[in-house]
């Protein structure tokens, strides 16, 4: 089974709604590099609907997060070339210093 996990720190979050009142929560998570000499990377996570609202209400900037789930490659063909595009389906878990965990499944 294809499984991955990213650990990082929540930098920013936002919540907006579609015209149909469906929530869209966006999070920017800073991921540590594999090697110290490499720069830190930011990963953008988007959650929809009720889970997006729950995640937005439960998370604060500075929270330590674990993003876990599956990655897959989608091939996109244009007129001039074929490109591989990464997509994912992730579950979001929050780890707090009090050892309590909030899990929000996408």
The pLDDT score that the predictor gives to residue 96 is 47
User: What gap in Å lies between CA 100 and CA 69, rounded to an integer?
Assistant: 21
| pTM of this structure | 0.70
- What domains sit in the chain, N to C, each tagged with a CATH number? 4-104 (2.40.50.140)
The pLDDT score that the predictor gives to residue 99 is 47
Calculate the average pLDDT of the chain. 78
């Amino acid at each position: 089974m294809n499984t991955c996990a990213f650990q990082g720190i929540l930098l920013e979050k936002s919540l907006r709604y579609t015209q149909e009142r469906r929530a869209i929560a966006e999070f920017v998570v800073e991921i540590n590099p594999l090697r110290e000499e490499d720069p830190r990377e930011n990963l953008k996570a988007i959650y929809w609907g009720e889970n997006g609202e729950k995640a937005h209400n439960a998370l604060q900037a500075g929270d330590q997060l674990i993003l876990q789930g599956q990655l897959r490659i989608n091939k996109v063909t244009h007129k001039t070339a074929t490109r591989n595009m990464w997509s994912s389906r992730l579950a979001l878990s929050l780890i707090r210093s009090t050892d309590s965990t909030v899990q929000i499944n996408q």
